Structure 1
């Protein structure tokens, strides 16, 4: 047999799951396999560390098709017709093939779309008033074109964010379906699910509630004599994209599959709906805002691989100012690069057959279907929202997410890990905390609580003209003191304090004396466990004999914590420390010292 006909890697013996598990168990040295290697997602899904041909993977049907005609959207807020048209033409020149116009008042469609080729550019409209009048104007202007895009009247998103459902929107939706009947590629009904994920929901909840709202609208529109097939053919779904890359790919695939199941229950074999994916608000940051570009890139990748029809990427600075020409251009370039240079959308369903993604997709679909059916059995979408069942379920997941962020178990660059200590942020750009209204959904950033803590620092600096200084006082074992100093540097840097680089001392006694007399407002002891056992108590006593006002912390988890606290230690920073609780306590003591 020639080498050309040999199977790849055939010279290596195959390894069974049993053999692999034996080796892993030995390497874990008694540690729990599930705790160490199995990823427990907040959707209630346990994801294994590896899959092979021995795993029986059920492949979902109707997961969608990877779009070769992917729409790269830019959102344009129309303040006046002339400016809106100018910005749209500029966007097309910069490579965008889709425009979303946000209209606050009625405008002339011909003037707004003048110079835009409706056969090659998708045009969509977010409009809450005069939608019928505008659409009549639009279809009259576009009668000789292949009009593509959608209209978003906020029929669901307005309800879940205000708590008030406008029945007249059903009449409007029914009329829009009739008006756009001659344009099969233009969708008259947009159902948004972005508010769920952006309010802290998990992927299963986003899918289930979006489909519940679809059933609710079908029932309402059927009362207006709109045919079910026409409803499904006129649907555009707008879903948010979260940070969990593979889970998000699975989410979109699962949504397509479950949508087909729902359609089948209504006797609809095929529907010509579209899915527009939007980068989430939840995952974005004000601090170290450029990292939003990285988040947007991975979010766009997961959406495209999940078989969406269009992508809307927000500008990286959108959360704290009006996007600039630069940030808007960069946002649009992300999808262009993925599509043209990375060949996304040019390979047919590249994730199909991946055991990992197939498993994630199937499990998400199973969980979402279960939740969907539970909501329907309890009276449906409207009843579940009116009695606050949906809000309570989302709040439960949101609190779990925020706890993981505060404990730094969910790392977010520039927010709770790896802060940019060279950056200064104006206090008024930072959140003062999250508003809590159990009756509605409020899209928000996950970082609001940490931002509020950072805002306290910036307000203190503005008031006292002093940025609190943190000294990392290290001694003893070289490797451990450097590792713990690096950890403390990263941990406390989230507060916005001026954290200095590690300062090494020849002994605990010298470190205590020098740090007590330094200009620092916060001192962190950095050494090894053995050094702590031998010298930490003496360090704290010597330090407090000289200075009683400074905040004194220790990096690590000492065994004699009670004794250290009694001697005057304020707290510790380690892997189990809650960043919000710890840094807020430090702030309070530093505030008291500086203001006095």
Structure 2
């Protein structure tokens, strides 16, 4: 109305600007003489973070980049809530489609079908009859022959929304990219007229879910994109055609601010990469980033703590500018998720959007001294890694060195978790010694679906086999077992055990590591347990003798638990040259009891 008074401008004249020097003086005073430099902390990325940032941080960066803008089709800065539905091999998918319908009715904005095979048996007509392909956002992860599924989808509907994830360069570590180019070109040709369907998803979550740093996720994602942009164009496909069908898939970890910065950095670098291919900024602005909560720090011990991790990861994803988000059910590591855990996973996005209103703000990190600095640093580090990898010939030629760098970083995290330097609540700190598992440890250890690539796997396996050993003693089980703990896992066990001892006793113990690249096992009988180590060949020979004589190519990861009568197992362990791993003054039972909190 005309007579409604205008609100007065908001100002805070009573708050005077505070200089950097004044902040430093206050910090020094509050620390009572302690050097403020002690507050610097080192990230896993390899760079330091200051204890505070001020306006000078933005001046160092120069002109700030433009804020993230919503997709042209999106009314706000919201994201799509996209739960995963798994489809078994040679399955019609009817049950999966029904599950997807329920999710969409109860708050999901789309669905991501993950196929364990080539989807040849998937009933596309059934899918289309309940979830119209032209109006439903659907992702499809297909490990083999994606064109067959795409053709059937397009036969059912002229329009598609969602994405396709196949990415042979990452999933197969393929040094012969040329063998996949014809099918990838077909995928692009079939979908290049579909503005809301991204058929070329770069699955950089592979690196994040195996312990890679944010720098590695960003840098290697750009290397994969560059490989496709260089090799896919031909007489029928331009570089712009290929770029327009691309999207990124990133895993989001628990390092809240670094994860926000990662998504912001990758958008900036995406524009830089496309500029190098003479593509316009408008094309870079259409980049879609699909995100998922990372499995790297997901745990089977005290699994409800996963809800806390996933909340942190989901918030980081949406504040960083993700366009779609998958939150894993908290119990997905050890069983088929049920209605309860799926509902919690689905509702996390709903709460962040509808109650926290996080979808109403465009790039909330813009202008933050700290986050702008982190974004710039990650962008520089990621671009440097990208250039270094390209100098080695790019991907797939440099796959060997990339995987070795990934392995080095993940091993460092294994060690930090074992020593307690990196805290995983419920696994290596604030544990439940008398935890009642919601699963059978023996079945889980033998399951081919048990994810062995996670940071907490060595610690979990030790806890599970310890619980299993003591359970066997109580039950007076008369069989013996050999449980594979992992490669070089005795170092992790030793570090974890030392942490339970007084500091002076740790220093006094004479220690000797087992040989490198040996497999660590626990030999358990009704009377006692013994930590041992063996070569891969020795373990395979024992496994063939007591469990799988026809498995010449027996994996060193599966089976994880071998069982036999005591006499047979004892003879096999001796015959195949397994060596005991011990700590002076402590037998294995003592070590396991301490590790489980029984002493």
Asked if 1:194 is matched to 2:238, the reply is no
Q: CA RMSD in A?
A: 3.5
Q: Is the 8 A contact 1:127 1:152 kept in 2?
A: yes
What is the match of residue 546 of structure 2? none
- Structure 2 matches for 1:142-161, cutoff 5 A? 142-143=157-158, 145=159, 147-160=160-173
- Structure 2 matches for 1:166-181, cutoff 5 A? 167-181=178-192
Q: Is the 8 A contact 2:442 2:468 kept in 1?
A: no
Asked if 1:396 is matched to 2:408, the reply is yes
Q: Secondary structure at the match of 1:156?
A: helix
Q: Is the 8 A contact 2:162 2:197 kept in 1?
A: yes
Asked if 1:234 is matched to 2:238, the reply is no
Rounded Cα–Cα distance in structure 2 between residues aligned with 1:552 and 1:114: 59
- Structure 2 matches for 1:507-522, cutoff 5 A? none
Q: Secondary structure at the match of 2:192?
A: coil
What is the match of residue 257 of structure 1? 268
What is the match of residue 450 of structure 1? 459
Q: Is the 8 A contact 1:283 1:445 kept in 2?
A: yes
Q: Give the unaligned 5+ runs of structure 1.
A: 435-441, 468-493, 496-521, 523-550, 567-579
Deviations 1:485-534 (A, max 9, x none): xxxxxxxxx99xxxxxxxxxxxxxxxxxxxxxxxxxx9xxxxxxxxxxxx
Rounded Cα–Cα distance in structure 2 between residues aligned with 1:232 and 1:320: 38
Shift, 1:591, TM fit: 6.9
Q: Is the 8 A contact 2:260 2:319 kept in 1?
A: yes
Asked if 1:277 is matched to 2:302, the reply is no
Deviations 1:149-183 (A, max 9, x none): 011123233223xx565644321121111111321
Q: 1:241 to 1:443 in 2, by over 3 A?
A: farther
Rounded Cα–Cα distance in structure 2 between residues aligned with 1:230 and 1:379: 24
Residue 28 of structure 1, aligned match among 31, 38, 58: 31
Q: 1:552 to 1:243 in 2, by over 3 A?
A: closer
Q: Secondary structure at the match of 1:383?
A: coil
Shift, 1:582, TM fit: 12
Rounded Cα–Cα distance in structure 1 between residues aligned with 2:41 and 2:447: 30
Rounded Cα–Cα distance in structure 1 between residues aligned with 2:231 and 2:96: 34
Residue 376 of structure 1, aligned match among 390, 401, 413: 390
Q: 1:305 to 1:13 in 2, by over 3 A?
A: closer
Deviations 1:525-550 (A, max 9, x none): xxxxxxxxxxxxxxxxxxxxxxxxxx
Q: 1:260 to 1:457 in 2, by over 3 A?
A: same
What is the match of residue 84 of structure 1? 96
Q: Is the 8 A contact 1:196 1:205 kept in 2?
A: yes
What is the match of residue 518 of structure 1? none
Deviations 1:229-273 (A, max 9, x none): 111110121111111000000001000100110001111113233
Asked if 1:417 is matched to 2:429, the reply is yes
Shift, 1:584, TM fit: 12
Residue 277 of structure 2, aligned match among 266, 270, 273: 266
Q: 1:168 to 1:94 in 2, by over 3 A?
A: farther
- Structure 2 matches for 1:463-474, cutoff 5 A? 463-465=472-474
Q: Secondary structure at the match of 1:303?
A: helix
Shift, 1:422, TM fit: 4.3
Q: Secondary structure at the match of 2:332?
A: coil
Q: Is the 8 A contact 2:78 2:360 kept in 1?
A: no
Asked if 1:343 is matched to 2:357, the reply is yes
Q: 1:250 to 1:379 in 2, by over 3 A?
A: same
Asked if 1:298 is matched to 2:312, the reply is yes
Q: Secondary structure at the match of 2:52?
A: coil
Shift, 1:25, TM fit: 2.9
Shift, 1:13, TM fit: 5.2
Shift, 1:18, TM fit: 1.9
Q: Is the 8 A contact 1:198 1:443 kept in 2?
A: no
Q: Is the 8 A contact 2:257 2:371 kept in 1?
A: yes
- Corresponding residue pairs, total: 481
Q: 1:445 to 1:7 in 2, by over 3 A?
A: same
Q: Secondary structure at the match of 1:190?
A: strand
Rounded Cα–Cα distance in structure 2 between residues aligned with 1:197 and 1:583: 35
Q: 1:28 to 1:373 in 2, by over 3 A?
A: same
Rounded Cα–Cα distance in structure 1 between residues aligned with 2:321 and 2:219: 18
Q: Secondary structure at the match of 1:113?
A: helix
- Structure 2 matches for 1:491-570, cutoff 5 A? 555=502, 557=503
Q: Indicate the structure (1 or 2) with the bigger Cα radius of gyration.
A: 1
Deviations 1:93-123 (A, max 9, x none): 1111111112333223222232224454301
Q: 1:27 to 1:190 in 2, by over 3 A?
A: same
Q: 1:565 to 1:462 in 2, by over 3 A?
A: same
Rounded Cα–Cα distance in structure 2 between residues aligned with 1:199 and 1:33: 35
Q: Is the 8 A contact 2:134 2:157 kept in 1?
A: no
Shift, 1:316, TM fit: 0.8
What is the match of residue 531 of structure 1? none
What is the match of residue 39 of structure 1? 41
Q: Secondary structure at the match of 2:360?
A: coil
Rounded Cα–Cα distance in structure 2 between residues aligned with 1:34 and 1:418: 30
Q: Give the unaligned 5+ runs of structure 2.
A: 1-7, 71-75, 477-491, 511-530, 532-580, 595-599
Q: Is the 8 A contact 1:276 1:308 kept in 2?
A: yes
Rounded Cα–Cα distance in structure 1 between residues aligned with 2:198 and 2:422: 38
What is the match of residue 348 of structure 2? 334
Shift, 1:378, TM fit: 1.6
Asked if 1:217 is matched to 2:221, the reply is no
Deviations 1:396-445 (A, max 9, x none): 222222222222222111111111344123433666999xxxxxxx9721
Shift, 1:458, TM fit: 1.1
Deviations 1:41-94 (A, max 9, x none): 111222112122243352653663356341111111233232222122111111
Asked if 1:61 is matched to 2:65, the reply is yes
Pick which of 325-334 and 582-591 moved more.
Answer: 582-591
